[in-house]
Amino acid sequence: MTKLEKLEREVQRLSRAEMAAFRVWFRKYDSDEWDRQIEEDIQTGKLDSLAEEAVSAHRAARTREI
């Protein structure tokens, strides 16, 4: 049995209250991980080309206000 399969079984055994608490924890964890990944991508330049493309489109008046 894989680590993921074990985790899935454990999650399925949680009570409703435990599941609610787990959801709160996981949303925060997932959000923090997303923020960390975005920050890492910014620092390593992975988003530079997208930013340059967006700025170029805006300067060429190919954007609109939302």
Q: What is the pLDDT of residue 14?
A: 98
- Domain around 7: 3-59
| pLDDT band for position 1 (cuts 50, 70, 90) | very high
- For tokens 């899935």, name the residue: 8
- Helix locations, 1-66, DSSP H: 3-12, 16-43, 48-59
Please indicate, yes or no, if residue 64 is contained in any of the structural domains: no
Give the predicted TM-score (pTM) of the model. Answer: 0.69
Cα four-point dihedral sign 7, 10, 16, 17: negative
Total number of domains in the chain: 1
DSSP secondary structure letter of residue 1: -
Please indicate, yes or no, if residue 35 is contained in any of the structural domains: yes
Paired tokens of 16: 């409703």
Please indicate, yes or no, if residue 66 is contained in any of the structural domains: no
Q: What is the pLDDT of residue 2?
A: 98
Q: What is the pLDDT of residue 63?
A: 93
What is the pLDDT of the chain when averaged over all its residues?
97
| pLDDT band for position 24 (cuts 50, 70, 90) | very high
